[in-house]
Structure 1
Amino acid sequence: MSRSLILLTALSAAALLTSCGTNRSAATHPPLKTAPKVSTDRYLGKWHEVAHFPQWFQKGCVSATADYSQNKDGTIGVLNTCFRADGSQRTVSGVAEPVDASNNRLRVRFPGNFFARLAPVPEDGNYWIIDVTPDYRHAIVGTPDRQFLWFLSRSPTIPQARFDRMKAIATEQGFDLGKLVVDQHTRITR
């Protein structure tokens, strides 16, 4: 099985797990708060993952980026890139669509993979933008079951004060930061 197929299968399973976890989140967590309104145009572009909760589909990644672009049909193109310690990389392409006009919850699918087409995506989305700074330089993304969390930045360098604020927001939202891993390419500055 090719590495691309393995990655796509893993992401498909993650989407399935996310959709299942979303249903039980109401019983164990208060509702996840999201950014009030997200400008899709300002959110587009490249984001560097600076920290994340480990996921088996990211195994072997020491760093990652996500590139978002506007598709002609109004959906958002997603290109995730995993960087490995040996310098190699792998990518997976997907499509995202906002759940509603607030653009703070997205349904993300990876249609190029057979298994991904079988995995249901929750109606309320599987990519929740919890926080985005007014300048769209930093964002926090997670899921209502608190099993998935990513800290994103437009650069792999992030000020310590901003990183601390992201951790505080995630903690306030009920995420267990004992699982948080800082990407190897992240530089936290004073």
Structure 2
Amino acid sequence: MPFCTSALIRATAMALVITGTAVALPGCAVSVPPGVQPVSNFDASKYMGTWYELARIDHRFEKGLTQVTATYSLNADGSVTVLNRGYDPARQQWREAQGKARFLRQADEAALKVSFFGPFYGGYNVVSLDDQYQTALVIGSSLDYMWILSRNKTIPESQRQALLEKAHALGVDLDQVIRVEQ
């Protein structure tokens, strides 16, 4: 009898793992949030390099960080290496995370999925980008993730406001947006 009970417990546990995996994996799928239109005619090579984070909706993985940068480099296979770096003033140390991004569809549309933790991806949608690739508004998998990026540590306040207005028009809650100290 102990063998049968043990085998039944193992079979039940395995069924729960399989069911849990089947339920969880569709949640890992990344799509562009409704109403969000990524930039078309996107030139990934022009986007590569270092960007300064000027504003964001704060989340636990960036909470309290200042002097945040994101550096992108194009890989031979078409994927993008992402290096995020920020200073944690509470701990008086730099923190960084390296990930990989892939285009959701074609490489001339600024809709990507980014992973810093194994098979789990988040959205990265460039929704506003100036012609010189100097400022960008990025929305994540939902409107709860938003970043204003620039090639410079500061931009004119009128330009910052225009990007915030665009984010608001998409449905971003501007009360959640913080200015990032550079």
Pairwise same-fold verdict (TM > 0.5):
yes
Q: 1:95 aligns with which of 76, 100, 119?
A: 100
Q: CA–CA distance in 2 between the matches of 1:145 and 1:107? A: 12
Identity of aligned residues (%): 27
Distance, in Å, in 2 between the alignment partners of 1:21 and 1:169 is 26
Q: Residue 133 of structure 1: CA displacement?
A: 0.6
Kindly indicate whether the alpha-carbon contact (under 8 Å) linking 2:71 and 2:84 is maintained by their aligned counterparts in 1: yes
In the superposition, relative to structure 1, how do residues 143 and 21 fare at CA in structure 2: closer, same or farther (>3 Å)? farther
Question: Could you tell me how far 1:137 is from its partner in structure 2?
Answer: 0.4
Alignment of 1:44-59 (within 5 A): 44-59=48-63
Query: Equivalent of 2:134, from 133, 137, 143?
Result: 137
Separation in 2, partners of 1:105, 1:118: 18
Displacement of 1:60 after TM fit? 2.8
**Cα offset for 1:68?**
0.3
2:93 partner letter: S
CA distance in 1, matches of 2:179, 2:113: 26
Pick one of 71, 75, 87 that aligns with 1:71. 75
Q: Who is 2:143 aligned against? A: 146
1:183 equivalent in structure 2: 180
Secondary structure at the counterpart of residue 118 of structure 2: helix
Opposite residue 86 of structure 2, the aligned amino acid is C
Moved over 4 A (4+): 19-23
Equivalences, count:
154
Structure 1: stretches of 5+ with no match in the other structure:
1-15, 111-115, 186-190
User: Given residue 117 of structure 1, which amino acid in structure 2 is its aligned partner?
Assistant: G
| Alpha-carbon distance between aligned partners in 2 of 1:140 and 1:179, rounded to the nearest angstrom | 15
Structure 2 residue corresponding to 1:108, chosen from 105, 110, 114: 114
Q: For 1:121-151, what per-residue CA distance to the aligned partner results, in whole angstroms no more than 9, with x for missing partners?
A: 3xxx611111111110000111252010000
One-letter amino acid of the structure 2 residue matched with residue 176 of structure 1: D
Equivalent residue for 1:188? none
Deviation at 1:33, TM superposition (A): 1.9
For the 8 Å contact 1:22–1:145, the answer to whether it is kept is no
Largest Rg, 1 or 2: 2
2:123 maps to amino acid: N
Report deviation, 1:59.
Answer: 1.8
Residue 168 (structure 1) aligned with residue 172 (structure 2): no
Structure 1 pair 173/20, CA: closer, same or farther in 2 (3 Å)?
farther
For structure 2, the residue ranges without an aligned partner over 5 or more in a row are 1-23
> Any idea what SS the aligned residue of 1:158 has?
coil
Asked which structure has the greater RCO (Cα within 8 Å, sep 6+), the reply is: 1
**2:30–2:113 CA contact under 8 A, matched in 1:** no
